[in-house]
Amino acid sequence: MTSSHHTLAAARWRIAIVLTLAVVCIYFGFIALIAYQKEWMGSLIAPGLSVGILFGAIVIVASWLTTWFYVWWANNHYDAKLDALKRESSGT
């Protein structure tokens, strides 16, 4: 149990909270627009494509992107630091 473990855990926690809030804002923003801006969500950008359908697709793509970003961060940054910590503690 070292303070560097706590620091790393806190770093992961910060990223997790920021990304969770991002997804919450995107999704509930979408729901709020549906609930309070019905007409605008129904207006057409192109034949067959309403603002609402575009935003719905964006919510799905945003879920993919935030997930991808977290996995990229964890695989490249978090795991490297974690491996260093593991080597350090097994060395002592």
Check residue 83 and report its DSSP letter: H
Q: Is 20 in the site for another protein (CB under 8 A)?
A: yes
**Spatial separation of the C-alpha atoms in residues 78 and 17, rounded to whole Å:** 15
The answer to whether 1 contacts another protein (rule: CB under 8 A) is yes
Residue 84 near another protein by CB under 8 A: no
Q: CA-CA distances (angstroms) from residue 12 to 2, 26, 38, 64, 91?
A: 16, 21, 38, 19, 24
Q: Please state, in angstroms and rounded to a whole number, the distance separating the CA atoms of residues 26 and 49.
A: 20
Q: Does 13 bind another protein (CB under 8 A)?
A: yes
Contacts with another protein, residue ranges (CB under 8 A) = 1-2, 5-6, 8-9, 12-13, 15-17, 19-20, 23-24, 26-28, 30-32, 34-36, 38-39, 41-42, 44, 46-50, 52-53, 56-57, 59-61, 63-64, 66-68, 70-71, 74-75, 79, 82, 85-86
